[in-house]
């Protein structure tokens, strides 16, 4: 699926005019600061202008699971997810970050001009939501594999396919990868060693080569 951003297909001058309709709120965050808690029910869409952030799910025992990583121009907010009961969802900055918040109602309610670029923005949000659903389905498909080896290979094959090259570099640290796969990091590293021993892959840090078809 094509990658869409919130401003895809909208000229910069039109964006400046639309900003006045949206009445955005700009906020800055230090590293490891909470940007948004879904339980707050703010009905806002956040656009990451600088920096990076993670979305975490926290279960009733206080255990964190990383669900998504956000980079510049990515959009986030509770409208993009279907929260699971008894889980808390928070977005935390991983570096200094600047975020623009827009009330959801300002986006879905056209202004008096009913400009075509407002319609384009809604279309972009639709495609971005569809992309998030696609990535969530992929995540569920990967973690549903019944062994660490199968989870690893399913993820690595997907990244190889999207990168279109072999070797390739995964977009996660090895710690983040273990969290994404919902496995113990030490167990994951042992499995990587076993896969190397079996000649299935070679790796150095986050760069991998898959020798199997």
pLDDT digits (tens, 9 = 90+) for 5-14: 656 656 666 6
- State whether 84 and 45 are in the same domain: yes
Q: In this structure, what CATH number is given to the domain that contains residue 111? A: 2.60.120.10
- State whether 31 and 121 are in the same domain: yes
Q: Which of 142, 169, 185 is the last residue of a domain?
A: 142
What value does the mean pLDDT take over residues 115-139?
Answer: 73
Q: What is the pTM of this model?
A: 0.63
Decide if 7 is inside a domain. Answer: no
Q: Which residues of 115-135 are buried (b: 16+ CB within 10 A; e: fewer)?
A: bebbebbeebbeebeeebeee
> What total number of domains does the chain contain?
2
pLDDT at 109 exceeding the cut of 80: no
Place of tokens 């199968």: 150
- State whether 101 and 115 are in the same domain: yes
For residue 170, what are the domain limits? Answer: 147-210
Interatomic CA distance for residues 75 and 91, integer angstroms = 12
What value does the mean pLDDT take over residues 19-40?
Answer: 84
- State whether 137 and 153 are in the same domain: no
Tens of pLDDT, residue by residue over 121-131, are 777 777 777 77
């Amino acid at each position: 699926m094509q990658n869409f951003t919130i401003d895809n297909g909208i000229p910069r001058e039109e964006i400046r005019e639309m900003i006045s309709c949206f009445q955005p709120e700009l906020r800055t965050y230090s590293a490891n600061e909470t940007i948004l808690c879904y339980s707050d029910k703010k009905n806002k869409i956040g656009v990451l202008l600088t920096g990076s952030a993670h979305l975490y799910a926290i279960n009733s025992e206080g255990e964190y699971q990383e669900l998504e990583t956000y980079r510049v121009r990515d959009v986030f907010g509770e409208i993009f997810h279907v929260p699971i009961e008894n889980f808390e969802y928070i977005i935390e900055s991983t570096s200094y970050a600047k975020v623009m918040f827009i009330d959801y109602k300002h986006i879905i309610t056209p202004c008096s001009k009913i400009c075509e670029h407002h319609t384009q923005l809604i279309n972009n949000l639709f495609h971005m939501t569809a992309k998030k659903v696609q990535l969530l389905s992929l995540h569920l498909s990967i973690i549903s594999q019944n062994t660490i080896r199968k989870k690893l290979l399913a993820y690595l094959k997907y990244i190889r396919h999207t990168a279109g090259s072999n070797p390739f570099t995964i977009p996660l640290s090895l710690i983040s990868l273990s969290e994404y796969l919902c496995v113990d990091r030490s167990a994951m590293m042992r499995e990587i060693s076993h896969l190397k021993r079996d000649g299935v892959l070679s790796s150095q840090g986050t760069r991998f080569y898959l020798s199997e078809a």
